[in-house]
Chains A and B, each alone.
Chain A
Amino acid sequence: KQEVTQIPAALSVPEGENLVLNCSFTDSAIYNLQWFRQDPGKGLTSLLLIQSSQREQTSGRLNASLDKSSGRSTLYIAASQPGDSATYLCAVLETSGSRLTFGEGTQLTVNP
């Protein structure tokens, strides 16, 4: 059974800091890995999708990497802003079907 773990569970940083969020998964048989953002009481917004054959994806100040063999992904946020405060979730799409398995998320607070 696929398990996804995110570290740390919570993170508080001053504005302007570069930061890294970590995600690990137990079964490397995945189609892709996605990073999402969730604001309180809201749905999820897809940030980046990395195919299993790719090593990284970039969008603006966000960069996500994937090491499928070791079961790890990182989300790098450059020059953090208060508007980045949210819960960040990673999820893997398994080759066995169309379901996403999510981690528990990292709650990020960026202080002005």
Chain B
Amino acid sequence: KAGVTQTPRYLIKTRGQQVTLSCSPISGHRSVSWYQQTPGQGLQFLFEYFSETQRNKGNFPGRFSGRQFSNSRSEMNVSTLELGDSALYLCASSPNSATNEKLFFGSGTQLSVL
């Protein structure tokens, strides 16, 4: 069974640009969550999608947005990039977002904003 796949693996952008990251969950998983990891702030929750609906959102500005498609694949978009958006963006999936389920993480997309 394939794991969580995130593309691209690395990305370099300049300030003011926008970026779209992609996440394909494990087959059969309907919940997809996104996290940002930086050396200073650690891992922070961005949002969670379940069956194409955003169920929960973290404390990030509106420049950060996401969506989920009918096949459970998810994308997140960051507009008007800032230097502080440089981070490892991790996607995680689980079958039903139930409280007894482990999360399975992808290898992440390393975003560098210059």
A residues apposed to B, CB below 8 Å: 31-32, 34, 36, 41-46, 49, 51, 89, 91, 93, 97-105
Contact = CB atoms under 8 A, between A and B. Distances in A.
The prevalent SS among residues of B at the interface is strand
Contacts of B102: 34, 46, 49
Interface stretch (B63-71, B78-86, B103-111): B103-111
Given A44-B92, A49-B101, 18 more contacts: A32-B99, A32-B100, A41-B110, A42-B107, A42-B108, A43-B90, A43-B106, A43-B107, A49-B102, A51-B100, A93-B99, A98-B56, A99-B45, A100-B35, A100-B45, A102-B35, A102-B43, A104-B42
Contacts, number: 62
B33 interface: yes
A98 B106 contact: no
Contacts of A34: 102-103
Interface of B: 4, 6, 31, 33, 35, 42-45, 48, 50, 55-56, 58, 88, 90, 92, 97, 99-108, 110
